[in-house]
Amino acid sequence: MAKELIWFLLVNPAAGGGMAIKKLPKIENALKNEGIKYLIAKTHHAGEANIIIQEAIIEGYRNFLIAGGDGTLNEVVNGIMSQTSAVPEEITIAQLPVGTGNDWRRTWNLPKTINECIALLKHGKRVLHDVGEINYTESLELKILWFINIAGIGFDAKVAYAANIQKEKGNSGLHVYLSELIKSLISFKEPEFAVSTDSKTLTFEGFTVLAGICRYAGNKMKLVPDADPQDRLLSVVLVKKLTKLKIIRNLPKLFSGKFIQLSEVSNFHCKEIIIKSNPPFFMQVDGESKGKSPVKIKVAEHQISVIVP
């Protein structure tokens, strides 16, 4: 059978605190029941998914089923966007709900069971999905990253950094994220931001700057509620300085997206945004801690095909 007709199943055994590897027999049974041909590969360390995907594309595979969380998905996207053997639009990805946060999936309202997700491979539709591109400098070297969900600089990145440390210790879930959020809030000092878009530059003492392709992050938080993964635009959310008491009072609005109604919050759409901060601040990319400001974020030239209901 031609490799482009086979689903390349990439499993991150560490995803979801071991959930991905525990559910592998169920995943394989569902694939067999649907009559779907597949090949399995497993990651063994962070960053390996990127390499595996690039090698698989060179070998001719074009359909990738990801048994991993948002971090694994981000590695896959970076592997697809950085290779030159096939245009990204020729590559199709689908993801199974075996991660910790599973935030990317929420924008598309993807099924929550393994069997339903596998059935989508045959009965769902393929659509083109925007990808964000980030340019930044690290140790005097220009670097490029891609993301499929949300990137941010400021408080959200500080919390992501702390939560990722806990994840490495085997602690994950919404309660861990909220705990790290409260602890980070106590010590957080707002940086001075300078944000330049297609048509304007804004300077302010701020809480966070978010650029979204999709809407959810931080384990069910609707942080970029107006994002559309197919409109070829970034959805940007700027949060100016708030009192810590006001932040705590409005925590429930992070889950509904209604926090953007606060007077300190503004949101808009653009093709490209440049974010500078004083001091340079952490960046989170699809929930993973990556580099620091200044950064340029834009909608990538190419899209990726995804399977949705």
Its CATH architecture, for the domain 132-301, is Sandwich (2.60)
User: Region 79-102: what's the mean pLDDT?
Assistant: 94
> What is the H or E stretch that residue 227 is in?
none
Question: pLDDT of 186-214, one tens digit each?
Answer: 888 899 999 999 788 999 999 999 999 99
Its CATH architecture, for the domain 3-123, is 3-Layer(aba) Sandwich (3.40)
Cis amide prior to 225 (ω within 30 degrees): no
Q: What is the pLDDT at residue 176?
A: 76
User: Region 11-22: what's the mean pLDDT?
Assistant: 90
Q: How far apart are CA 149 and CA 12, in angstroms?
A: 19
Considering only CA atoms, which of 217, 192, 18 is closest in space to residue 132? 217
Range list for CATH 3.40.50.10330 in the chain: 3-123
Cross-strand partners of 225: none
Q: How far apart are CA 242 and CA 174, in angstroms?
A: 23
Q: What is the pLDDT at residue 162?
A: 77
Alpha carbon 296 to chain centroid, angstroms: 17
Question: pLDDT of 149-189, one tens digit each?
Answer: 999 999 888 887 777 677 767 777 677 777 887 888 888 88
pTM, two decimals, is 0.92
Q: How far apart are CA 16 and CA 114, in angstroms?
A: 14
Rounded to the nearest integer, the mean pLDDT of the chain is 92
Q: What is the pLDDT at residue 1?
A: 59
User: For residue 246, is pLDDT > 90?
Assistant: yes
User: Region 132-149: what's the mean pLDDT?
Assistant: 94
Cβ atoms 143, 135 nearer than 8 A:
yes
The least confident of 91-95, 117-121, 177-181, 280-284 is 177-181
Question: pLDDT of 37-48, one tens digit each?
Answer: 999 999 999 899
Range list for CATH 2.60.200.40 in the chain: 132-301
Q: How far apart are CA 208 and CA 181, in angstroms?
A: 13
Alpha carbon 180 to chain centroid, angstroms: 19
Q: Which residues contact 12 (CB under 8 A, 6 or more apart)?
A: 20, 42, 43, 49, 67, 68, 69, 72
User: Region 275-300: what's the mean pLDDT?
Assistant: 92
User: Region 219-246: what's the mean pLDDT?
Assistant: 95
> What is the H or E stretch that residue 207 is in?
strand 201-212
Both tokens of 101, joined, read 């946060």
User: Region 8-15: what's the mean pLDDT?
Assistant: 94
Q: How far apart are CA 61 and CA 55, in angstroms?
A: 9
User: Region 225-254: what's the mean pLDDT?
Assistant: 94
Pairing relation of β-strands 7-11 and 38-42?
A: parallel
